[in-house]
Structure 1
Amino acid sequence: MPPEIARPRAEIRGTVLRQIFDECAVTDSVRHGLLGGYGLSDADIDGEDGAVPLAAYLEIFESLATHQRQPTLGLKLARRMGPDLAGAPGYLFLGAPDLGTAIDEFVRTVFAIQGATFLDFARTPTPMMSYFIVDQSLTSRRQDAEFSLAYMHQLICLFLGTPYAPVELTFEHARLAPLSSYERHFGCPVYFEQARNSLVMRPQDLTSKARRHDPRLASLLRHYLTMIRHTKDRPSRVTDQVDAVLAKIVGADPVTVADVAFRLGTTEHTLRRKLSAEGVSFRDLLRAKKVAVAMRQLEDTEFSILDIAQKLGYSDAAAFTRAFRAETGVSPSLHRKQVNRLRR
């Protein structure tokens, strides 16, 4: 098994969790109980400098949905949120001249600042926003995924000043509630247990004009966000850069070292050399990411072991089982049984 790779702790702005608590109208005792279970307090979710570990945020969100007996809590909360949830990037979104520019600038600002979760925007013939979390070991992500894409949908509706229906929505996780509740919310087909969390649009949607556009305000916000990025920028290890790319494509697209190098704007030889200098290999990183994705799918979907092996690019179930056992010490089937036993 390859050595453990130390990674910086992923965090999310504490004010996001504060707004979720406020919208749910939870009592002080419930809030303090949920926060205290992870060593957090009100100080961590108040003020612009407050931060919450991503793992704690995901678990608290899931626990809150269970406490409120609302399996689609993320969807319902997103509908009540405005641009202030995202801060300056949210207002920059609404102030853009057209929808394509709004999404482009949002992707470059809010998710870059947050650093724990990411949004990809592909301006392909079928434009698509894809939301993901780099750390595949964080399995309590259903509410967050639904909340995040539903919030993007909400921002689009606010931008247009009218209800908006995408082409389709896809989610990685299994469905939590009747399909009709999702399709009513988004006004389009919604699919589950897919390769990525995504919102698919029409090309003509991107040319839609803003209900109101203030170029002077947009310029001020861009300047402010550029200053924030400069103060938050830190040298990034190549290992972390590769890990982020793999999180986007493992399980969704074929993966080669040449493709990852291209996405990072370097050569295959240079990428391998830099990884070696950090004490890791591309092969180990890819295997670890594939197994992490597999673990989440074993825990969170009904996919068969063969289905998971094929989605991850293994030649057969036996090859997948060997890689999984080398990384975890157990077989995929045993891992699934152990998880199911703990959940009973």
Structure 2
Amino acid sequence: MKKVTLNGNFAMVRAAVMGPVLRALDQSGADCDALLETFGMSRRLLSNPYEILPLTRYVAAFERAAEVLDEASLGLRLGSEVQLTELGPAGLVFLSSPTLNAAMRKFTLALASWQNTTTCEVLRDDEWPIWTYQIASPQIWPRRQDAEYSISTMCHMIRLVRGSAWNPVEVHFEHAAPADTKPYARIFRVPVRFQQPFNGVILRPQDLDASLKSADTQMARMMERHATDLIANEAIQHGIVEQVRDLITRRLAHEKLIVADIAKDLGLSQRSLQRHLAEEGSSVRQILREERQRSVAGLQERDGLTNAAIARAVGYADATVLWRATRNWKK
């Protein structure tokens, strides 16, 4: 099968992927809000499952959560418990496909609507088929939790449609073996190999041809269309000004906007970002001001919104700060 590389303007995931991590932190009594703040996130930001997050932040937050919980195999556990709705259209496409082969193939394609800059493929060149998963950027490291979560999730999904007794042939991971391998034996129940070229689930040839009782042609078509629409919406190539404007618009009310963070999320140094914007006759400060002006104008047309509410919606501390800003806009 042809390799599918999920591309985009910058490495991103949907906020829904943080759901399992948040639940684990809350259930343990850990300071979830403090951890989110460390990585420029908040519950308010994550309340919209379709919100865009930088992939780098998600991966790093997942690694930190495992440290905070002192649970090295956190990703393994969460993958075995994941709710398919948290995988967006990809999860429901998998569940409603007619065969496991179709389910894995369509899941791989639909995953681009939920997470990009990821390489996935189903290889059938050798005797044993293998589904592989890997973040395309080598700079995003360490990423053990994401890799183990993704492979554990795939095995969990297959067991949902084939029965809990199903096992793969082998499981591969790109990272080195940890000191304790017992959680792998418990989750996968088969040999696990480390320091491999990619993360993967090896299957039997007959696994892929098996019919799935959960097949729903209408649901599969709907979810494929939904995934296609999401991918098309995010795949439009934008210039640097539009990319910065898009990031600012998404996060205006949710987090403190810092030039260095915006640059990092776009895969640039702060100096490079400022240079590129200057070449386009713009700057982060100018774009931020324009977006705040636009947002304030729209919010002021709504009935019942106080100045304090408008101020919060555009990232200001209170109505006084908003008033001062609007005075400067008129100069």
Match status 1:77 vs 2:51: no
Question: Deviations along 1:117-169, whole A, 9 cap, x unmatched?
Answer: 33221132321111111111111201110001100111111111333211111
CA drift of 1:43 comes to 2.8
Name 2:143's counterpart in structure 1.
Answer: 141
Letter of the 1:104 partner, please give it: R
CA contact (8 A) 1:127 1:201 kept: yes
Letter of the 2:77 partner, please give it: K
Name 1:228's counterpart in structure 2.
Answer: 230
Name 1:9's counterpart in structure 2.
Answer: 10
Name 2:56's counterpart in structure 1.
Answer: 55
Question: Deviations along 1:211-248, whole A, 9 cap, x unmatched?
Answer: 222212222222222222222222499xxxxxxxxxxx
Q: What stretches of structure 2 of length at least 5 have no aligned partner?
A: 1-7, 240-331
Whole-Å Cα distance in 1 between the matches of residues 10 and 237 of structure 2? 15
CA contact (8 A) 2:30 2:69 kept: no
Name 2:119's counterpart in structure 1.
Answer: 118
Whole-Å Cα distance in 1 between the matches of residues 29 and 72 of structure 2? 22
Within 5 Å, which residues of 2 pair with 1:35-46? 35-46=36-47
Tell me the C-alpha RMSD between the 2 structures.
Answer: 2.2
Whole-Å Cα distance in 2 between the matches of residues 37 and 92 of structure 1? 34
TM-score of the aligned structures, taking structure 2 as reference length: 0.65
Name 2:159's counterpart in structure 1.
Answer: 157
Query: Paired residue for 2:199, among 191, 197, 200?
Result: 197
Whole-Å Cα distance in 2 between the matches of residues 173 and 236 of structure 1? 34
CA contact (8 A) 2:168 2:201 kept: yes
TM-score of the aligned structures, taking structure 1 as reference length: 0.62
Residue aligned with 2:57, SS: helix
Residue aligned with 2:23, SS: helix
Whole-Å Cα distance in 2 between the matches of residues 51 and 223 of structure 1? 20
Whole-Å Cα distance in 1 between the matches of residues 168 and 20 of structure 2? 26
Query: Paired residue for 2:188, among 174, 177, 186?
Result: 186
Q: Which runs of 4+ in 1 moved over 3 A?
A: 26-29
Q: What stretches of structure 1 of length at least 5 have no aligned partner?
A: 1-6, 238-344
Letter of the 2:40 partner, please give it: G
Whole-Å Cα distance in 2 between the matches of residues 113 and 12 of structure 1? 6
Aligned length: 231
Name 2:109's counterpart in structure 1.
Answer: 108
TM-aligned CA distance change 1:179 to 1:113, over 3 Å: closer
Letter of the 1:186 partner, please give it: F
Whole-Å Cα distance in 2 between the matches of residues 11 and 28 of structure 1? 28
TM-aligned CA distance change 1:34 to 1:26, over 3 Å: farther
TM-aligned CA distance change 1:187 to 1:236, over 3 Å: farther
Letter of the 1:75 partner, please give it: L
CA contact (8 A) 2:93 2:224 kept: yes
CA contact (8 A) 1:111 1:118 kept: no
CA contact (8 A) 1:12 1:116 kept: no
Residue aligned with 1:130, SS: strand
TM-aligned CA distance change 1:213 to 1:29, over 3 Å: closer
Name 1:249's counterpart in structure 2.
Answer: none
Whole-Å Cα distance in 1 between the matches of residues 10 and 99 of structure 2? 36
Whole-Å Cα distance in 2 between the matches of residues 138 and 220 of structure 1? 33
CA contact (8 A) 1:13 1:114 kept: yes
CA drift of 1:113 comes to 4.4
The percent of aligned pairs where both chains have the same amino acid is: 29
Whole-Å Cα distance in 2 between the matches of residues 55 and 22 of structure 1? 20
Whole-Å Cα distance in 2 between the matches of residues 33 and 183 of structure 1? 33
Residue aligned with 2:31, SS: helix
Whole-Å Cα distance in 1 between the matches of residues 86 and 179 of structure 2? 25
Whole-Å Cα distance in 2 between the matches of residues 143 and 55 of structure 1? 13
**Structure exhibiting the larger radius of gyration computed from Cα positions:** 2
Letter of the 1:150 partner, please give it: S
TM-aligned CA distance change 1:163 to 1:26, over 3 Å: same
Name 2:307's counterpart in structure 1.
Answer: none
CA contact (8 A) 1:21 1:31 kept: yes
CA contact (8 A) 1:45 1:51 kept: no
CA drift of 1:177 comes to 4.3
CA drift of 1:19 comes to 2.9
Whole-Å Cα distance in 2 between the matches of residues 230 and 139 of structure 1? 28
CA contact (8 A) 2:25 2:32 kept: no
CA drift of 1:179 comes to 2.4
Letter of the 1:11 partner, please give it: M
CA drift of 1:28 comes to 8.1
Question: Deviations along 1:269-324, whole A, 9 cap, x unmatched?
Answer: xxxxxxxxxxxxxxxxxxxxxxxxxxxxxxxxxxxxxxxxxxxxxxxxxxxxxxxx
